[in-house]
Amino acid sequence: MKNFSKIEQKINITFKNKDLLQQAFTHRSYINEYRGKKLEHNERLEFLGDAVLELAVTEYLYAKYPKRPEGDLTSFRAALVNTNTLSQVASELNFNEFLLLSKGEAKDVGRARQYILANTFEAFTGALYLDQGYDAAQKFIGAHLFPLIDDIVSNRLWQDSKSYFQEQAQEYVNITPEYHVLREEGPDHDKHFTIGVYLGEELVAEGEGKSKQEAEQGAAEEALRKKEWGKK
């Protein structure tokens, strides 16, 4: 079993309820593979953490940018809590080291791992909220997410990636990107989509998400990185 005291030391937070901390890092696949351990997976905590995260980020942006319209604030928030940003922060916090995954999931270190890390960040936020309240969760979010907003705004990283990739594709290669569903998994209430973005016959990149729109945005973001059509 993982030594979760190390992650507590890393982020300087000590949980009162250690089971909540462990649950935050427990992926559904681990439960399915180790049924005898009687653990709970982190999806309910993820659901809660997503709401806490959205409120904390919304409050912060509302105060920081008093003259910005709602549309800009919504875009800033989306850029700050998307899969790429959350997975990057989770990686920097060494969340990878503490994930409880099935043997199969543990082998996948690509886009699927980014998705798991982002969800774990949300689950951890939810666990912290339950363990120590909103102020503690807000402080954690503020320490690790809020410093990123200046770069996001100054470099226009908040701009809709799908629209931006289309502009760049037309400028560089005179092709309009097309998006196709590569995989669709899960029950109707919990779908998971993998979508590929194509330039002609070339599969440029893939994206994943709980909706087709989210997966398309992820694919566009990845395509921008691969083509090095960075935002100025």
* Residues with a known catalytic role: 50, 122
The amino acid sitting at 209 is G
Question: What is the Cα–Cα distance from 184 to 18, expressed in whole angstroms?
Answer: 35
Residue carrying the six token digits 């790429």? 84
CB 87 within 8 A of CB 115: yes
DSSP 57: H
Q: How many residues belong to the chain? A: 232
Question: What is the Cα–Cα distance from 55 to 27, expressed in whole angstroms?
Answer: 25
Question: What is the Cα–Cα distance from 227 to 165, expressed in whole angstroms?
Answer: 10
Beta sheet of 192-199, edge-to-edge order: 178-185, 192-199, 202-209
Residue 211 C-beta-side C-alpha neighbours within 13 Å: 4
